[in-house]
Amino acid sequence: MKKLICTLLALAMLLSAAALAEVPTVDPAGNAIAIPETTDKIISLAPATTEILEAIGAKDRIIAVDTQTPLYVAGFDAVPQFDMMAPDVEAIAALEPDIVLTSGMSYIDGDPYHALVDMGICVVEIPSSTSIQGVADDIVFTAACVGLEAEGEALAADMLAQIDELAAIGATIEDKKTVLFEISALPYIYSCGKGTFIDEMIGLVGGENVLGDMEGWVSVTEEDAVASNPDVILTSVNYIEDSVGEILGRSGWENVTAVANQDVYYIDNAASSLPDQNIVKAMIEMALALYPDAYAAYADANAAA
């Protein structure tokens, strides 16, 4: 019953955004768009977008993806794949898509899709959101682009409801642990400060980001990381066979509280890096890593559901 009430409340919060998303005329990047009447042939050039489309029941409409999507979403090994940074626009056009969904990553060095727009193909840019509410809004918007508004609203509302439940527990935590979240490991530690959904999630589950006074995605020197002396280290690094073991075995880190107490934990890379509904999975992993006792009942209840 509690989860149902939270879902209904979260859905109510989305009504204004959903109303605007029913017939999108401008994408989140501010570009004017004309959504076609039918979107039976979708090209999704961002893994997060593909995960959203799969969750709302539009997976079978996807005719091509970016090269990264098969690493995160099963079932796309045999479809055409395009480099999101340097797409073959002629090959994309030859597929005659109804709509092409892209991310901000594709526009770092200019607009590689302008030729498709000139051909009259609907290209939609959805920059990666940096906040939880932004992720929810993007879910609703993406669903609206393919005529599945209700499914998108429900998916976003369920995500927000779960986050609210976790945050309610987090609000009861008094002895807050400090956290360092590593996105990349030595020799180039990369992490996040305020203005990112990872920082937001750490705070909501009752933690304190040691880099919370910095902005966005940040590079961290080894000296600064050690000096921050976090109580817990979380890592989403998946290009090292044992990223937790790598941190625990670092020379000169022996006196860092997290290392000394072996409070170092892996957080699913896809769930924590892709801005879609699956960030909840990463948030649950964070919560259980920081405060296993406080979140045990929540984990047990959801495991049984």
Domains belonging to the chain, first-starting first, are 2-161 (3.40.50.1980), 173-304 (3.40.50.1980)
Question: If you average pLDDT over every residue of the chain, what do you get?
Answer: 92
Residue % of the chain over a pLDDT of 70? 92
List own/partner pairs for 224-230 with CB under 8 A and 24 or more apart: 225/180, 225/189, 225/191, 226/252, 226/253, 226/256, 228/178, 228/180, 229/178, 229/256, 229/257, 230/177, 230/178, 230/179, 230/180, 230/256, 230/257, 230/258
List own/partner pairs for 68-75 with CB under 8 A and 24 or more apart: 69/44, 71/47, 72/47, 72/270, 72/274, 73/47
Confidence class of residue 249 from pLDDT cuts 50, 70 and 90? very high
Query: How does DSSP classify residue 241?
Result: T
Rg, the chain, Cα only: 20
Going through 33-110 in order, the beta strands assigned E by DSSP cover 42-44, 62-66, 81-82, 99-103
Q: What is the mean pLDDT of residues 96-107?
A: 92
**Number of neighbouring beta carbons within 10 Å of residue 296:** 11
- For residue 216, report the phi and psi dihedrals to the nearest 5 degrees: 70, -155
Confidence class of residue 302 from pLDDT cuts 50, 70 and 90? confident
Q: Is the pLDDT of residue 251 over 50?
A: yes
pLDDT at 133: 98
CA neighbor of 46 nearest in space, from 73, 75, 69:
69
CA neighbor of 62 nearest in space, from 92, 83, 87, 42:
42
Confidence class of residue 240 from pLDDT cuts 50, 70 and 90? very high
Confidence class of residue 18 from pLDDT cuts 50, 70 and 90? very low
Q: Is the pLDDT of residue 15 over 70?
A: no
H helix or E strand, kind and range, residue 67: none
Burial (0-12, 13-18, 19+ Cβ within 10 Å), 225: buried
Helices and strands (DSSP H and E) totals, the chain:
15, 11
Confidence class of residue 7 from pLDDT cuts 50, 70 and 90? low
- Site of tokens 């409801």: 161
Q: Is the pLDDT of residue 188 over 60?
A: yes
Query: How does DSSP classify residue 116?
Result: H
pLDDT at 305: 61
- Site of tokens 């920082």: 199
Give 104 or 194, the one with higher predicted confidence: 194
